[in-house]
Amino acid sequence: MKLINRIGATAVAVVLAAGISGGAQAAEWKGWNIHVPDYPNTIAMDKFAELLDKGTGGRITLKMFHGGVLGSQPDAIEQLRIGAIEVGNFNLGPIGPVAPEANVVSLPFIFKGMDHMHRAMDGAPGDQISAGMAKKGMVALAWYDSGARSFYNSKKPITKPEDVTGMKVRVMNNDLYSGMISALGGNPSPMAFSEVYQSLKTGVVDGAENNWPSYESTGHFEVAGYYSMSEHLIIPECVCINADIYGALSDEDKAVVRDAARQSADLQRELWSKRAEASREKVMKAGVKFNEVADKAAFQDAMKPVYAKFLESNPDLKPLVEAIQATQ
Ligand code: BDP
């Protein structure tokens, strides 16, 4: 009898706890972020947590796990979709394979620059991308900056597509990036962010591609000293939340969560432009051999098969691609 009572009490407690964490009462969320402590995204996600706590009077708390300790980015995206992680700062690159609408931002050179990307993401294309992500269980609360990605390697400057021929280049997990490297005659190597330093160092790959802050914060510049300003990808990032958890919030809490994310994005964008400059200066001082890519058109031309293949498999996304290209 006693035992049965105890089981009964435990069951009630479990049901109550589940009700509380899923509902409007009180919740403790886990957040994923891949970056080092002083990175703009890290500081901004901590700010998000702080604002959430304040805005809900401590009913919703967010414990951030930085440095990718909760798993690789593709894994974390899956964990967020099933609700094992409530919140994450994700690059739309690895989200693309899950949500096709989000994949259009991973078409090389689709954005003409950061301003163009901001206008597109703040407009109708951004809304369509958000809707596509929501259908896959992820609500994008705000967009973070991630600069432009350029090629770097341990061998030589890259000035023309042929320079990539035969090179083994690490890419994020997304067939579009593998297609991009193949179209340049290189050998793509999809790999987790955390493995890139060692792979560059030991020659498992010759190069990779990223923005200035990540090239610097990871130490990749120490082992791949040629940075060639191709700026082939401008990929926004999201502050994302599990769709069911977000959907179960009261309207008031939804507003607090959105507002906190927006404020954290304002901070992130401000810190981002400063860090991009500081990172660039730091690696240049360390002796990185930098070159501009004068003929970007040659790289853009080489991407035609990547676009053709993507539109062939996703004909319904042609209007979205065109809407981004037409965004003024
Ligand atoms: C960085 C992104 C991060 C990615 C990383 C990568 O902020 O989300 O995981 O690139 O290349 O710029 O994997």
CA–CA dist 153, 164 (Å, integer): 10
Q: Does residue 88 lie in a domain region?
A: yes
Residues 194 and 109 in one domain: no
Is residue 212, in this structure, part of any structural domain at all?
yes
**CATH for 18:** 3.40.190.170
Predicted structure pTM score: 0.92
Cβ count near 113 (within 10 Å): 10
Given CA atoms 65, 67, 69, 75 in this order, what sign does their dihedral have? Answer: positive
Q: What pLDDT shows up at residue 26?
A: 84
Q: What is the H or E stretch that residue 29 is in?
A: strand 27-32
- The candidate with the shortest Cα–Cα distance to 32, out of 75, 87, 84, is 87
How many Å apart are CA 316 and CA 72, to the nearest integer?
30
pLDDT at site 190: 98
Please indicate, yes or no, whether residues 48 and 131 belong to a single structural domain of this protein: yes
Host domain of residue 217: 149-234+287-326
Ligand 1 site, residue 106, Cβ cutoff 6 A: no
Quick one: 14 and 54 in the same domain? yes
Integer Cα distance of 189 and 178 in angstroms = 7
Cα Rg for the chain, rounded, in angstroms?
21
89 lines ligand 1 (CB under 6 A): no
In a domain, 169, yes or no: yes
Amino acid at 95: I
Calculated CA dihedral for residues 68, 73, 76, 77, nearest 10 degrees: 150
> Residues 42, 187: one domain?
no
What is the 3 state secondary structure string of 202-249?
Answer: HCCCCEEEECHHHHHHCCHHHHCCEEEEEEEECCCEEEEEEHHHHHCC
Q: How far is CA 117 from the centre of its chain?
A: 14
Mutate to test the pocket of ligand 1, among 89, 171, 172, 181 (most ligand atoms within 8 A of CB): 172
Q: Is 34 in the pocket of ligand 1 (CB under 6 A)?
A: yes
Backbone angle region of 291, left / alpha / beta, with phi > 0 → left and psi within -120 to 50 → alpha: beta
DSSP string, 254-275: HHHHHHHHHHHHHHHHHHHHHH
Angle of CA points 216, 220, 225, to nearest 5°: 95
Q: Is the CB of 193 under 6 A from ligand 1?
A: yes
Q: What pLDDT does residue 74 have?
A: 98
- Which residues in the chain show pLDDT less than 50? 1-23
For residues 209 and 250, state if they share a domain. Answer: no
Pocket mutation for ligand 1, best pick of 144, 214, 279 (most atoms within 8 Å of C-beta): 214
Residue 32 in any domain: the answer is yes
Residue 280 to residues 114, 148, 216, 274: CA-CA distances in angstroms? 17, 13, 8, 10
Tally of domains within the chain: 2
- Cα–Cα distance for residue pair 76/88, rounded to 1 Å: 8
Does residue 224 share a domain with residue 173?
A: yes
Query: How many Å apart are CA 148 and CA 160, to the nearest integer?
Result: 18
